[in-house]
Amino acid sequence: MKLRHDQAILVLTLALTLLGLGMVFSASHELARTRYDDAFFFLRRQLIRAVIGVVLLLVASNIDYRVWRRWARLGLLLAVVGLTVVFAFNAVRGARGWVRIMGATLQPVEFARLALVAFLASEIARRGDAMQSFRAGFAPLAVAVGIVLALVLKQPDFGSAMALSLVAFTLFYVGGARWRHLLGSGAVLLGGAILLALGRPHVRTRILGYLQPGAHAASDAYQSLQSVLSIGSGGPLGRGLGRGFASYGYVPDPHTDFIFAVMGEELGFVGCAVVLVLFLLLVGRAVRVARGLEDPFGRLLAVGIGMSLFWYAALNLLVATRLFPVTGLPLPLVSYGGSSLVSQLFALGVLRNLARAAEPPPKRAGRWPIADPAVLEPAL
């Protein structure tokens, strides 16, 4: 049975979400029992967020995607406000990226991602061929992206800033921006990132821990080294769900950024391969949806949602396998975290609506031949 694009997106999304719930419990049950005397503490919270996210996914699936074009500028403005409000709250582990509203903790950067995608898709589609012009097309949008990145870096959240930069560059490229404009702005961002890294002790130590793991094995390189050991110890089929050592303190906070380490140890190479295939299939569906749309805004929005999922997942997996310095990004749909899960599910709901526009529903044959217009035509 061949699934339509929107059906396949729903199946793949729910599969990753359910897998994430299982892995969150497996990775956090010991920590939850020790810290809160309740092994289900983190699972219960993640399950509530998953339900909220799935409801938003179903709602967004039934909202015409063109609505988001009309609200794109306001959405970006609200995102900037959210990224600014975080500085009024206390820092958590040295970063100010969270807002507390009515007892709930939100991370505005997760919602700013979708707002930035919708804004860039709208503005690039409106400019069209003018995107090849630096002054009329590329520069104004680059400034808008720069403002968002500056606020994210100020928190500081280098991982999210890097992921947002990659998503923006992808949309600029698909939207027709010139290579020299992309390379020039990329060089500016890279230079700024190096200067900021040199001025931020925790970022500098993370980079040193990546480049010199032996000298920092007990400090800044500990988490990533333990992650690689956990993944490698899983072998082809893993130790079995709930039987790994990573969740017993060998990998700090294994249910968040390093949940892939738990997955590698407990599900093995086969389990990790299945997760990678699910992500690739979901991103592939987003690309196919984009190709099936004639509306430039719809194409860019589908690409932005799909590539946002790709870049966030790719950076998380690179960190978990020590191919990149620690960034603090969650694995989409899988890691523990309400803002990430809810925003990703909402975005995939928007993608489902785009899929319906790209692939009209098949014609349904009537129960009786007389219900078929082709049968009635000769008699008319």
Mean pLDDT of 299-305: 97
Q: What is the pLDDT of residue 84?
A: 92
Q: What is the pLDDT of residue 280?
A: 96
DSSP code of residue 133: S
Q: What is the pLDDT of residue 99?
A: 83
The mean pLDDT of the chain is: 87
Does the pLDDT value for residue 297 go beyond 60?
yes
Q: What is the pLDDT of residue 364?
A: 52
Which one has a higher pLDDT value, 377 or 327?
327
pLDDT above 70 covers a percentage of the chain that reads 91
Q: What is the pLDDT of residue 314?
A: 95
d(CA 56, CA 314): 25
Q: What is the pLDDT of residue 94?
A: 65
Does the pLDDT value for residue 380 go beyond 50?
no
Mean pLDDT of 249-256: 83
Using one digit for the tens of pLDDT, what is the confidence trace for 360-375? 655 554 443 333 434 3
Treating both helix axes as pointing N-terminal to C-terminal, what angle do 296-320 and 108-127 enclose, rounded to 10 degrees? 140
Mean pLDDT of 165-171: 95
Does the pLDDT value for residue 175 go beyond 90?
yes
Q: What is the pLDDT of residue 188?
A: 87
pLDDT above 90 covers a percentage of the chain that reads 62
Q: What is the pLDDT of residue 363?
A: 55
Which one has a higher pLDDT value, 9 or 370?
9
pTM of the model: 0.90
The kind and range of the H/E element at 106 are strand 104-106
Using one digit for the tens of pLDDT, what is the confidence trace for 86-111? 888 776 666 777 788 777 788 999 99
DSSP code of residue 137: I
d(CA 347, CA 57): 7
Is residue 234 classed as helix, strand or coil in its secondary structure?
coil
Mean pLDDT of 208-231: 79
User: Band of the pLDDT at 120, cuts 50, 70, 90?
Assistant: very high
Let me know: does 269 contact 278? Beta carbons within 8 Å: no
d(CA 335, CA 52): 16
d(CA 177, CA 197): 28
Which one has a higher pLDDT value, 222 or 332?
332
Q: What is the pLDDT of residue 5?
A: 85
Let me know: does 65 contact 302? Beta carbons within 8 Å: no
DSSP code of residue 105: E
Mean pLDDT of 14-21: 96
Q: What is the pLDDT of residue 295?
A: 93
